Amino acid sequence: MLKLNVQNETSRLRAVVLGTAIGNGPTPKLEDTYDPKSAEHIRAGTYPLEEDMVKEMYAVAQVFSKYDVQVFRPDIIDNCNQIFARDISFVVEDKLIRANILPDREPEFEAIQHVWDQVEEDKRIILPEECHIEGGDVIIWNEYIFIGTYSAEDYPSYITARTNKAAVEAMRDLFPNKIIKSFELRKSNTQAKDNALHLDCCFQPIGTDKAILHKNGFLIESEYEWLRDYFGKEKLFEIDREQMYNMNSNVFSISEDVIISERGFTDLNTWLREHGFTVEEVPYAEIAKQEGLLRCSTLPLIRD
Partner residues linked to 20 by β-bridges = 82
pLDDT of residue 69: 98
**Residue 7 falls inside a structural domain:** no
**Residue 4 falls inside a structural domain:** no
Give the residue with greater pLDDT, 280 vs 87. Answer: 280
**Residue 1 falls inside a structural domain:** no
Give the residue with greater pLDDT, 169 vs 99. Answer: 169
Q: Across all residues in the chain, what is the average pLDDT?
A: 93
Beta strands, E only, the chain = 13-18, 70-72, 89-92, 95-98, 124-126, 138-141, 144-149, 179-184, 203-206, 210-213, 236-238, 252-253, 258-262, 278-282, 298-303
* Segment 18-75, tens digit of pLDDT: 999 999 988 888 877 777 788 889 899 999 999 999 999 999 999 999 999 999 999 9
pTM of the model: 0.94
**Residue 283 falls inside a structural domain:** yes
Residues, the chain, total? 304
Chain centre to alpha carbon of residue 179: 20
pLDDT of residue 39: 83
pLDDT of residue 30: 83
**Residue 3 falls inside a structural domain:** no
Give the residue numbers spanning the domain of 71: 13-303
Residue 92: closest CA among 37, 41, 147: 147
Domain of residue 290, CATH code: 3.75.10.10
**Residue 128 falls inside a structural domain:** yes
- Do 74 and 19 touch, CB atoms closer than 8 A? yes
157: confidence class by pLDDT, cuts 50, 70, 90? low
* Segment 159-212, tens digit of pLDDT: 777 899 999 999 999 999 999 999 999 988 778 787 788 999 999 999 999 999
Q: Is 8 helix (H, G, I), strand (E, B) or coil?
A: strand
Average pLDDT estimate for 107-123? 95
**How many C-beta neighbours within 10 Å does residue 20 have?**
23
How many structural domains comprise the chain?
A: 1
Chain centre to alpha carbon of residue 297: 7
Residue 10 has pLDDT above 90, yes or no: yes
141: confidence class by pLDDT, cuts 50, 70, 90? very high
Within a 13 Å sphere around the CA of 203, how many CA atoms are in the beta-carbon half? 27
